[in-house]
Structure 1
Amino acid sequence: MEVRGNQALPTHNKYCPQCNHCTKISQTTDTCWDIHGKPPDKKWFPNKSTKAMQQPVIWKVATSSQVAPSRPPSCPRSTPVGLLNGGSKRRKTPIIEVSYPLPPDAVWKKVSLRSGLGKREREYTQGWSVTDEPLCKRCQKQCMGKNAKRPEFLEDLFCNLVCYEEYRLRTSNRFLREELFKIEHGVCTNCQLDCHKLVKDTRPLSLERRREFIQKIAPNIAKRKNMFEKLVNEPTEGNAWHADHIVPVYQGGGECKLENMRTLCVACHSDVTAAQCSERSKARANAKKKLKELMGSIKIGMKCSAVTNIKDHRAIDERGSSVIEDELFLEVPGSAYSIADS
Structure 2
Amino acid sequence: MRKARLPPELRVKKPQSKQKKKKQREQLEAHLQKPRGYRRFTPTSELPLERFDAQGQRVCRWCGGSLTGRQRSWCSVACNEAWLVRSMPSFARKKVLERDRGVCVQCGVEAQGRDNQIARELQKERRLRRGTLTRVVLRDHLKQHLLDILPRYGLSDPGEMGWQMDHIIAVEQGGGECGLENLQTLCTVCHRQKSKQQAAERAQRRKAVRSQGISLSGEMP
TM interval, short-chain normalised: 0.5 to 0.7
Larger radius of gyration: 1
What is the letter of the counterpart of residue 101 of structure 2?
Answer: H
What is the letter of the counterpart of residue 181 of structure 1?
Answer: L
In the alignment, does 2:68 pair up with 1:144? yes
- The answer to whether the 8 Å contact 2:59/2:66 transfers is yes
Pair 159,243 (structure 1): closer, same or farther in 2 beyond 3 Å:
same
For 1:135 and 1:212, locate their aligned partners in 2 and report how far apart those are by CA, in whole Å.
58
Match of 1:179 among 89, 92, 95: 95
**1:1-342 counterparts in 2 under 5 A?**
88-95=37-44, 99=48, 102-103=51-52, 136-139=60-63, 143-146=67-70, 148=71, 157-204=73-120, 205=122, 206=125, 207=142, 208-219=144-155, 222=156, 225=157, 227-228=159-160, 231=161, 240-297=162-219, 300-301=220-221
> Relative contact order: is structure 1 or structure 2 higher (C-alpha 8 Å, sep ≥ 6)?
2
Runs of at least 5 residues in structure 1 that lack an aligned partner in the other structure? 1-5, 9-85, 107-128, 149-155, 232-239, 302-342
Question: Over aligned residue pairs, what C-alpha RMSD do you find?
Answer: 3.2
For 1:105 and 1:211, locate their aligned partners in 2 and report how far apart those are by CA, in whole Å.
65
How far 1:94 moved relative to its partner? 3.8
For 2:146 and 2:69, locate their aligned partners in 1 and report how far apart those are by CA, in whole Å.
49
Pair 249,172 (structure 1): closer, same or farther in 2 beyond 3 Å:
same
How far 1:145 moved relative to its partner? 4.1
Number of aligned residues: 169
Give % identity.
27
State the Cα deviation string for residues 164-206 of structure 1 (Å, max 9, x = none): 1111121111121111112211011122111111121122314
How far 1:157 moved relative to its partner? 4.7
Q: 1:203 aligns to what SS in structure 2? A: helix
Runs of at least 5 residues in structure 2 that lack an aligned partner in the other structure? 6-10, 12-34, 126-141
Q: 2:196 aligns to what SS in structure 1? A: helix
For 2:84 and 2:165, locate their aligned partners in 1 and report how far apart those are by CA, in whole Å.
16
